[in-house]
């Protein structure tokens, strides 16, 4: 178990922990010293051999007193990805093994919550069975941001056809707006910018609180530099505004912050610091 937030257990469901792209590629407006800055703020965050940022891809299982909720379903197996070779046609058991180790079967997942509809967050939504895409979690309701579904539907690319449409066709999808509440403990927090419908996930139980960032942030270095644009943000300025709001809220509440792509252990606190913020594990 990663941590416990009051009555809610949080389990890490790790699929990939590997170098991704260089700091210069990921943060194109951060200036020529970006690699040095990342290295000085995130110890071990840049792979020495490749010079690329280490980017875990992981989901989180929330075990509330009433439900098993999977937040983000990573890259998945057999998925088509024309731009990211490491994410194309994977055949890997790590994600499913992590779910088993957390003590749940695919049948026992009650909800799948997608922070947004990008390939590293929706992959295990479905799996191939006899050449057909079927929902991996047969008894789950899948909650997806309505704004993202609309964008992906209009593109009708591999991601939609392989990882979203089969869930809708099976009648298991619920397209939701930000602010949506799921049971007593989980709220979808609007953080548009990375995608139009992007949400962070707030977990609250008694006096205890945590937030799962999704892709509102990708590295703890963005606590110090929230204004850095991220390569894959749909609306970079809107993403900066959402990131600042997230950092303000997290530093004011003192809640636990769980970073979907943060270097392991991906868990800590945001503190306000001289007009900006810092990260504390
Ligand atoms: Zn992502």
Mean pLDDT score, 141-170: 98
- Give me the CATH number covering residue 64: 3.60.15.10
Is residue 214 within 8 Å of residue 191, measured between CB atoms? yes
Residue 277 has pLDDT above 90, yes or no: yes
Ligand 1 center–CA 163 separation, angstroms: 15
| pLDDT-derived band at 78, boundaries 50, 70, 90 | very high
Ligand 1 center–CA 76 separation, angstroms: 13
Ligand 1 center–CA 121 separation, angstroms: 6
Percent of the chain with pLDDT over 90: 99
Residue 109 has what pLDDT?
98
| pLDDT-derived band at 57, boundaries 50, 70, 90 | very high
> Whole-prediction pTM value?
0.97
Mean pLDDT score, 98-116: 98
Residue 23 has what pLDDT?
97
CA dist., res. 158 & res. 167, Å (int): 14
Residue 89 has pLDDT above 90, yes or no: yes
Is residue 102 within 8 Å of residue 62, measured between CB atoms? no
Instruction: Beginning with the edge strand found earlier in the chain, give each strand of the sheet holding 267-273 in spatial order.
Output: 181-182, 186-190, 199-205, 208-212, 256-258, 267-273, 276-280
Is residue 245 within 8 Å of residue 234, measured between CB atoms? no
Ligand 1 center–CA 147 separation, angstroms: 17
Ligand 1 center–CA 133 separation, angstroms: 22
End-to-end CA distance of the chain: 17
For residue 117, what are its two tokens? 């509809």
CA dist., res. 250 & res. 50, Å (int): 33
Ligand 1 center–CA 118 separation, angstroms: 7
Ligand 1 center–CA 217 separation, angstroms: 9
Burial class (CB in 10 A: 0-12, 13-18, 19+), 129: exposed
CA dist., res. 196 & res. 10, Å (int): 27
Ligand 1 center–CA 120 separation, angstroms: 5
Q: How many domains does the chain have?
A: 1
Ligand 1 center–CA 17 separation, angstroms: 13
Residue 2 has pLDDT above 90, yes or no: yes
Residue 179 has pLDDT above 90, yes or no: no
For residue 257, what are its two tokens? 């912050």
Q: CB-based contacts of 42: which residues, under 8 Å, 6+ apart?
A: 219, 220, 221, 263
Residue 251 has pLDDT above 90, yes or no: yes
Ligand 1 center–CA 8 separation, angstroms: 24
Residue 39 has what pLDDT?
96
Ligand 1 center–CA 123 separation, angstroms: 11
Residue 178 has what pLDDT?
84
Domain that residue 206 falls in: 3-280
Residues 194-238: pLDDT tens digits? 999 999 999 999 999 999 999 999 999 999 999 999 999 999 999
For residue 210, what are its two tokens? 């945590």
Query: Alpha carbon 54 to chain centroid distance?
Result: 15
Ligand 1 center–CA 230 separation, angstroms: 11
């Amino acid at each position: 178990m990663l941590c416990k937030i009051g009555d809610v257990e949080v389990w890490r469901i790790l699929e990939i922990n590997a170098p991704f792209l260089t700091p210069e590629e990921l943060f194109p407006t951060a200036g020529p010293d970006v690699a040095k800055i990342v290295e000085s703020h995130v110890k071990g965050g840049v792979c020495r051999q490749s010079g690329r940022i280490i980017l875990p891809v992981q989901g989180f299982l929330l075990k509330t007193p009433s439900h098993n909720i999977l937040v983000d379903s990573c890259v998945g197996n057999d998925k088509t990805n024309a731009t990211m070779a490491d994410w194309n046609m994977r055949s890997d058991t790590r994600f499913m093994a992590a779910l088993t180790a957390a003590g749940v079967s695919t049948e026992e997942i009650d909800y799948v919550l997608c922070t947004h509809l990008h390939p590293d967050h929706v992959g295990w939504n479905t799996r191939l069975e006899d050449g057909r895409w079927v929902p991996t979690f047969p008894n789950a309701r899948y909650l997806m941001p309505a704004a993202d579904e609309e964008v992906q539907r209009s593109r009708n690319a591999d991601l939609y056809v392989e990882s979203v449409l089969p869930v809708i066709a099976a009648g298991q999808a619920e397209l939701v707006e930000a602010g949506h509440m799921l049971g007593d403990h989980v709220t979808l927090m609007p953080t548009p910018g990375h995608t139009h419908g992007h949400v962070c996930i707030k977990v609250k139980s008694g006096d205890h609180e945590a937030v799962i960032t999704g892709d509102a942030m990708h590295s703890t270095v963005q606590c110090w530099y929230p204004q850095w644009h991220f390569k894959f943000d749909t609306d970079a300025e809107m993403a900066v505004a959402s990131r600042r709001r997230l950092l303000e809220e997290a530093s004011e509440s003192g809640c636990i912050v769980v970073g979907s792509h943060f270097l392991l252990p991906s868990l800590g606190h945001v503190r306000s610091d001289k007009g900006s913020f810092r990260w504390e594990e």
